[in-house]
Amino acid sequence: MALLKVKGLTKRFGGLLANNEIDLEVPQGSLFAVIGPNGAGKTTFFSMISGFLNSTSGSIAFDGRDTTRMRQDQIAAMGLIRTFQLVQLFKGMSVAENVEVGCHLATRGGVAAALLRPSWFRRQEAEVHERARELLDFVGLGAQADLDAELLPYGQQRLLEVARALASRPRLLLLDEPAAGLNTQETDGLAHIIEKINRQGTTVLLIEHDVGLVTRIAHRIAVLDFGRKIAEGTPDEIKVHPEVIAAYLGVEEAAYA
Amino acid sequence: MTSLAITSPKPAARLDRFSLGLLGAGALLFAAVLVYGGYLLTVMQLAMIYGIFCLGLNFFMGYTGQASFGQNAFACIGGYGSAILCVQYNWEPALALIASMGVAGIAALVIGYPTLRLRGHYLAMATFALGLITYDISVQWTSLTQGYMGYAGIPPLGIGSLTVEDERLKLLCLGGLLLVGFWISQRLRDSRFGRGLRAISGSENGAAALGIRISRFKLIAFVIAGLYASAAGSLFAHTVGFISPEVFGPQMVIVTFTMLYIGGVGTLIGPVVGAIVASLLPEIFRSTGRFQDIAYALVLLLMLIYAPKGLSALGALFRPRKDKGEA
Amino acid sequence: MPSAVELVQSLVNGVGIGLIYGLVAIGFCVIYNASGIVNFAQGVFVMLGGMFAHTLLTQFGLPIYVSAVLSTILVAGIGVLVQIAIINPMWRRKAPLFAIILATLAIQLLIEQVVILTLGDQPRTYPEFTSGGPLKIGPIAIGYQLFWVLGCGALMVFALTQFFNRTRMGRALRACSQNREAAALLGIPVERMLIVSFALSAALGAAAGILITPTQYTAYSVGGPFGINGFIAAIIGGFGSAPAALVGGIFLGVIQSGAIVFFGAGFKNIVALTVLLIVLLFFPSGLFAGRAKSA
């Protein structure tokens, strides 16, 4: 069954059609990727799915429920967690605290609990600290836990954002160009981590610019160009898809050559 | 730009040594004033009251990263609530304080709900207007507030027949209340709720993506700040025994912001340290009279330009900067 | 219920004071558009304009026109000083928005206290620019000073529009307001433009203060209310063009003087601030939205 089902999703900015009638189904447990050249409408698409942008028309259903008009925090509460292309770290908080914030949805308790600290709350706080450590170890930032998050090098900031998103135990993890700005070595490490996350049972939807990364790890790929979905299939199908090569791969290869 | 990180792995020990030292210095000053007595007792009493106000302000400005230039409105509600209930209706001071806090809390909820949708300059100006409106009402609504005359003869705090009249005892009680306020602030900060607030100040988008309900968290922080401010206003009324509109006028905004900035916005101990330092500093050149306000404004400007992180951030200078090398 | 005459009279008064608010509002917009900063100390320039003009007039015995011009220049100088000594250092350090707002509030307090120390805290005024009057139209009285306000206001808005549209510097300032990074890349000295904007804005405020003082009075404390009302006018006008700000000012002035007729003088600030909250909450880009900028 499809965990995420997008139908006819359209976004119009004034005269610009950023997304045009996009259909997409992300099966439970898959590692799905959306690729496309810059300006193809990938981030717009992502923002609508995660509730940061309202669509002009079309519908989004997550886990069988219509989320088209939901607020971002409501969508997040259903288990759809995103990261950002421009990392959105919590400045003034340590690396570990950043991940602890990520545990928000997986925990409970407000002002009263914080003041009275009943035993369940204390236990939960201890678990949060422990879980933050585990996740930092998982992405390889265990040694940096007490650093100010802002002081991390760029590549590690991205990893931190992934760890933070994982802390809320997402059912669908949306990664917005996680490899942007990373070197080859860092990208390899990231690919490894994403695969591991997926193997542990989390469905992953990935937007990426780096075709190499995507064709290596994704189970299924959709290609956007000028706001339209021009192809969808397995990596092998996509690699030989004539329209994709024409619209995207050819251009990219030429650019990288 | 580096920012202060008063954090350590264990949640129980969030204060570094420098901050503890600052707190210790504050406690020493407190003790010294308690022994020395005289006029300084009043100064220190006010420092405690301002400290409570700033602890609340710090919730909204510091942890949540929002601007409110109108918290004096809630101090005004607290002060007048206490004065009117005690002088006109002979209420118990403690009861009047709590009732006023209730009114202020509801007011913060009702006002904050529409206002907190604003951002940046608009939020700043809307909150500033709030403070000014409250000030104008306290001047104009003479049947309730007695206008410029204000209220005199407000009874001191106490429970039943046990009232706190002695100045030293007053100071001790206020010190105790400040500690309670500080304790609450610390508990809330180092919790799921507090982390949510600080996340909002770091990145609203990031926080929303993790399921934090931004508007609700902001509103709660605003209400908490209002409750603290109201308590401070009431305590002022009961401690000094007299209030007038001027007490809660716009210059209160400047004074409390100076304190918060001196101590360090968003830090745990900043409000307390700032209130004590900023209250005692002018006493050094008290003979200058009129220059006191000028000194305040100058100190604030210098802090804003050259040390926007306040005293608490100076700790970073004394810390081994292992992080710097890795960055 | 007030009579028709009272209402018309209050309308006339409202337009007069509203024009002043409009001028202050334009001052807000000039700085805001160039720098993204809202200078909460804008009202202090109004106060200084009146105070300096009064001092030059009475202490140095200069004629009113000379005093007015000199005072405007002096206040513009203070605006430059504020920018160079305080705003620019903060700007360079990328101080957060709230810190800059707070700094401008502190500047207001600082200047007010210095004025008390040097010029005293007594309210003062000076005669209208043209003696005689008021002009009587039936039972309605219009003071001659209102015509001065109207004339000078129109002249200044015209001059400002010409400056922004016709001169190199004006166009550079407009470029800053559209995109500061791009303007810097084009070689426009952005910091110098900010200085110019502060000078202009201070001069506008000073002119407003000089024009209004004869009909009211000036004292160290008048800056606050003028600043707030000017800001409200700017918000109503949507922080956009100078004419919109001027109309916003007149709108506010009329509402305020109406409030005085209906509720009494004590309520004029409460009404103005309520207007502010209503506009902020329901018309966040001004009453004449369309060309307005969002914050």
Tell me the DSSP string of C9-21.
HHHHHHHHHHHHH
Q: Is the pLDDT of residue B296 over 70?
A: yes
| Phi, psi for A81 (deg, rounded to 5) | -115, 135
| pLDDT at residue number B14 | 55
| Distance, CA of C154 to CA of C160 (rounded, Å) | 10
The 10s digit of each residue's pLDDT in B141-194 is 888 888 888 898 888 887 767 777 788 888 999 999 999 999 999 999 999 999
Q: How many CB atoms lie within 10 A of CB C161?
A: 14
DSSP string, chain C: ---HHHHHHHHHHHHHHHHHHHHHHHHHHHHHHHHS---TTHHHHHHHHHHHHHHHHHTS---HHHHHHHHHHHHHHHHHHHIIIIIHHHHHTT--HHHHHHHHHHHHHHHHHHHHHHH-S--B----SS-S-PEEETTEEE-HHHHHHHHHHHHHHHHHHHHHHHSHHHHHHHHHHH-HHHHHHTT--HHHHHHHHHHHHHHHHHHHHHHHGGGS-B-TTTHHHHHHHHHHHHHHHTT--HHHHHHHHHHHHHHHHHHHHHH-GGGHHHHHHHHHHHHHHH-TT-TTTTSPPP-
| pLDDT at residue number B326 | 36
ipTM: 0.88
Q: Mind telling me how many Å the CA of B218 is from chain A's nearest CA?
A: 13
Q: DSSP 3-state assignment of A225?
A: strand
| Distance, CA of C41 to CA of C55 (rounded, Å) | 21
Q: Is the pLDDT of residue C214 over 50?
A: yes
Nearest Cα residue in chain B from C98: B67
| Distance, CA of C249 to CA of C235 (rounded, Å) | 10
**Chains linked to B by 3 or more Cβ pairs within 8 Å:** A, C
- Tracing tokens 């101080």 back to the chain, one arrives at C95
Structure tokens at A38: 């810059």
Q: Do B293 and C101 touch (CB under 8 A)?
A: no
Q: Do A147 and B5 touch (CB under 8 A)?
A: yes
Q: Is the pLDDT of residue B101 over 80?
A: yes
Q: Provide the domain count of chain B.
A: 1
Q: Mind telling me how many Å the CA of A93 is from chain B's nearest CA?
A: 7
Higher pLDDT, B282 or B2: B282
Cβ contacts of A82 on chain B, cutoff 8 Å: 209
Residue of C81, C270, C293, C294 to mutate, interface with B, max B Cβ within 10 Å:
C270
Higher pLDDT, C77 or C177: C77
Cβ contacts of C113 on chain B, cutoff 8 Å: 290-291, 293-294, 297
Cα→Cα distances B188→A7, A97, B268, Å: 43, 15, 11
- Is residue B167, in this structure, part of any structural domain at all? yes
**Span of B30-39, B128-137, C265-274 with lowest mean pLDDT:** C265-274
Asked if A50 reaches chain B (Cβ–Cβ under 8 Å), the answer is yes
- Is residue B32, in this structure, part of any structural domain at all? no
Nearest CB to C295 within list B122, B305, B308: B122
Strand duo A31-35 + A203-208: pairing? parallel
| Distance, CA of C70 to CA of C128 (rounded, Å) | 17
Asked if A141 reaches chain B (Cβ–Cβ under 8 Å), the answer is no
Q: Do A76 and B184 touch (CB under 8 A)?
A: no
Q: How many CB atoms lie within 10 A of CB A119?
A: 7
Nearest CB to A147 within list B206, B224, B323: B323
Nearest CB to A146 within list B1, B7, B203: B7
Q: Residues 183..242 of A with a Cβ closer than 8 Å to B: which?
A: none
Residues 6 or more apart whose CB falls under 8 angstroms from that of B7 comprise: A93, A94, A96, A97, A146, B14
Structure tokens at A109: 């308790």
Q: Do A72 and B209 touch (CB under 8 A)?
A: yes
Nearest Cα residue in chain A from B323: A147
Nearest CB to B212 within list A104, A115, A145: A104
Asked if A148 reaches chain B (Cβ–Cβ under 8 Å), the answer is yes
Q: How many CB atoms lie within 10 A of CB C290?
A: 9
Cα→Cα distances A50→A53, A160, A191, C6, C136, Å: 8, 20, 23, 59, 67
| pLDDT at residue number C238 | 80
| Distance, CA of C102 to CA of B257 (rounded, Å) | 8
Asked if A117 reaches chain B (Cβ–Cβ under 8 Å), the answer is yes
Strand duo A16-27 + A2-13: pairing? antiparallel
Q: DSSP 3-state assignment of B19?
A: helix
Q: Provide the residue ranges of all domains of chain C, joining segments of one domain with +.
A: 4-125+137-282
| Phi, psi for B268 (deg, rounded to 5) | -70, -45
The 10s digit of each residue's pLDDT in C217-236 is 888 888 888 888 998 899 88
Helix axes C268-282, C223-237, angle to 10 degrees: 30
Residues 6 or more apart whose CB falls under 8 angstroms from that of B51 comprise: B178, B181, B259, B271, B272, B274, B275, B276
Higher pLDDT, B3 or C156: C156
Cβ contacts of C120 on chain B, cutoff 8 Å: none
Stretch (H or E) spanning B186:
helix B167-189
pLDDT band at B286 (very low <50, low <70, confident <90, very high): low
| Distance, CA of C216 to CA of A246 (rounded, Å) | 75
- Residue C289, CA atoms < 13 Å, CB-side half-sphere: 9
Nearest Cα residue in chain B from A117: B187
In tens digits, what is the pLDDT along chain A, a chain of 257 residues?
789 999 999 999 888 888 989 999 999 999 999 998 877 888 899 999 999 999 999 999 999 999 999 999 999 999 999 999 888 999 889 999 999 999 998 888 889 888 989 999 999 999 999 999 999 999 999 998 888 898 899 889 999 999 999 999 999 999 999 888 888 888 999 999 999 999 999 999 999 877 888 888 999 999 988 888 988 999 989 888 888 887 765 555 444 44
Residues 6 or more apart whose CB falls under 8 angstroms from that of B245 comprise: B76, B135, B138, B139, B145, B147, B148, B150
The 10s digit of each residue's pLDDT in C159-211 is 888 888 888 888 888 888 777 778 888 888 888 888 999 999 999 999 999 99
| pLDDT at residue number A250 | 55
- Residue C147, CA atoms < 13 Å, CB-side half-sphere: 12
Stretch (H or E) spanning A62:
strand A57-62
The 10s digit of each residue's pLDDT in A161-177 is 999 999 999 999 999 99
The 10s digit of each residue's pLDDT in B224-266 is 999 999 999 999 999 999 999 988 987 788 888 888 888 888 8
Nearest Cα residue in chain A from B8: A146
Q: Are C and A touching by the rule of 3+ CB pairs within 8 Å?
A: no
Nearest CB to A146 within list B4, B8, B266: B8
Residue of A49, A74, A148, A161 to mutate, interface with B, max B Cβ within 10 Å:
A148
Stretch (H or E) spanning B277:
helix B270-284
Cβ contacts of C281 on chain B, cutoff 8 Å: 114-115, 117-118, 126
Structure tokens at C105: 């509030």
- What is the dihedral angle through the alpha carbons of B74, B80, B86, B91, rounded to the nearest 10 degrees? -40
| pLDDT at residue number B288 | 56
Q: Do B202 and A93 touch (CB under 8 A)?
A: yes
The 10s digit of each residue's pLDDT in B84-98 is 999 999 898 999 999
Nearest CB to B140 within list C90, C97, C266: C266
Q: Do B193 and A110 touch (CB under 8 A)?
A: yes
Contact C120, C58 (CB under 8 A): no
| Distance, CA of C153 to CA of C24 (rounded, Å) | 11
Q: Do B194 and A114 touch (CB under 8 A)?
A: yes
Higher pLDDT, C239 or A248: C239
Nearest CB to C116 within list B121, B129, B290: B290
Nearest CB to B202 within list A92, A105, A129: A92
Q: Mind telling me how many Å the CA of C81 is from chain B's nearest CA?
A: 14
Indicate the DSSP class of residue B211: T
CA C141 to chain centre: 25
Q: Which CATH number fits domain C4-125+137-282: 1.10.3470, 2.60.40, 3.40.50, 1.10.150?
A: 1.10.3470
Domain that holds residue B144: 38-249
Cβ contacts of A165 on chain B, cutoff 8 Å: 209-210
Strand duo A65-66 + A57-62: pairing? antiparallel
- Residue C191, CA atoms < 13 Å, CB-side half-sphere: 11
Q: Do C102 and B257 touch (CB under 8 A)?
A: yes
| Phi, psi for A109 (deg, rounded to 5) | 110, 130
Q: How many CB atoms lie within 10 A of CB A14?
A: 6
Stretch (H or E) spanning B17:
helix B17-36
For residue B9, whether the previous peptide bond is cis, meaning omega lies within 30 degrees of 0, is no
- Tracing tokens 């957060």 back to the chain, one arrives at C96
Model-level pTM? 0.86
CB pairs under 8 A between B and C: 114
Cβ contacts of B5 on chain A, cutoff 8 Å: 92-94, 146-148
| Distance, CA of B316 to CA of B263 (rounded, Å) | 14
Higher pLDDT, B201 or C94: B201
Asked if A93 reaches chain B (Cβ–Cβ under 8 Å), the answer is yes
Q: Do B133 and C269 touch (CB under 8 A)?
A: yes
| Third-level CATH fold of A2-256 | Rossmann fold (3.40.50)
Nearest Cα residue in chain B from C286: B122
Cβ contacts of B327 on chain A, cutoff 8 Å: 151-153
| Distance, CA of B34 to CA of B166 (rounded, Å) | 12
Asked if A125 reaches chain B (Cβ–Cβ under 8 Å), the answer is yes
